[in-house]
Chain A
Amino acid sequence: MKQRLNQIATLASGALFGFGLAWSTMIRPESVLAFLNFQDLGLLLVLGSAVGLNLLVFQLAPRLRKRALLGDAFQQRPFALNRQTLSGGVLFGLGWGLCGVCPGPALAGLGAGNGDLLIALAGIFAGAWLQGLWAGRPKQT
């Protein structure tokens, strides 16, 4: 029962996220590119309101409750800033600036009927695969 609720909540969270991406026009690469070219700064409002809401949630919830509503612990994001992650950010920025797509909008935009995004998704899957091979390569000492 709890597992089923967990699955429903996860699916619903993704759906709400995807619906919001469509509503904010962020599933349209041209909207993102308009922001990056400073023609329409809407993306800042999208990011700002999404972060603002979650700043409250992420800061307050773990202080008010020991565990999440379905009983699991609140997780932390494992992340270490270093040269490798920073260079990843640069590569991601190059791709984002080239086509105006990032992982969430690629999925939501496909759902909304933009079949071209299948190519972007195939590229993202391939990129993630290459990154795994690269990061998991035998280290030379």
Chain B
Amino acid sequence: MISHYFPNGLERYLIGGLLIGSGVALLFLSTGRQGGVSTFFSAAWSWFSQHPFFQQASLRDSRHWRLLYALGLVLGGAVYAGLGLPLAASQLPTWKFAVGGLLIGFGARQGGGCTSGHGICGMASLSAGSLLMVCTFLGTAIVTAQTLSYLGIAP
């Protein structure tokens, strides 16, 4: 049963989740900030666009720490690879990243958060709205992925 649903074991996921959680917890405990990632992608536009939407205080005032946080994420991945830890190759058609990225960027911002914002911070804050958002995007993603698999457009 367990090996059927978890062919790669449990440990890697549990430890990885605790490491991810430690990052979010460290940010909250030290700075009081909510460590959602997706707002960075709107806040970064405040450097390049004079459009009033991107010049709103909540984006301008948080863009510095959000940039550092995003750089930290890149750095964390680089450290992992640099240590020579196990890393499986990934191969997905380019168009999926292009189309998927566009939907992810628009949707996550329109939805007020992504897997880290709603999924970790929102749920840890016991926000009913975030829980409903997680069910919405997780459910949509499951239906999307399984439909594509069924149609033979996967991976």
Contact = CB atoms under 8 A, between A and B. Distances in A.
Are both chains from one complex? yes
Interface of A: 5-7, 9-30, 33, 36-43, 45-55, 57-59, 61, 67-70, 72-81, 84-104, 106-114, 116-117, 119-136
A90 B140 contact: yes
Given A22-B81, A90-B136, 12 more contacts: A19-B77, A42-B10, A87-B111, A90-B137, A100-B155, A102-B108, A112-B81, A114-B90, A124-B41, A125-B45, A127-B41, A131-B105
Contacts of A122: 98, 101
A79 B144 contact: no
Contact of B124 (A55, A100, A114, A126): A55
What DSSP secondary structure best describes chain A's contact surface? helix
Give the bracket for the number of chain B residues in contact with chain A: 35 or more
Contacts of A98: 96, 99-100, 103, 144-145, 148
A93 B74 contact: no
Contact of A92 (B7, B15, B81, B111): B111
A55 B36 CA distance: 15
B7 A49 contact: no
What DSSP secondary structure best describes chain B's contact surface? helix
A17 B23 contact: yes
B68 to A, nearest CB: 5
Nearest to A68: B32
A51 B13 contact: no
A119 B154 CA distance: 18
B115 to A, nearest CB: 5
A14 B29 contact: no
B35 A17 contact: yes
A10 B68 contact: yes
Interface in B141-155: 141-146, 148-149, 154-155
Contacts of A14: 23, 27, 68-73, 75-76
Given A15-B75, A39-B7, A95-B99, A103 B116 contact: yes
Contacts of A133: 51, 53
B26 A127 contact: no
A12 B38 contact: no
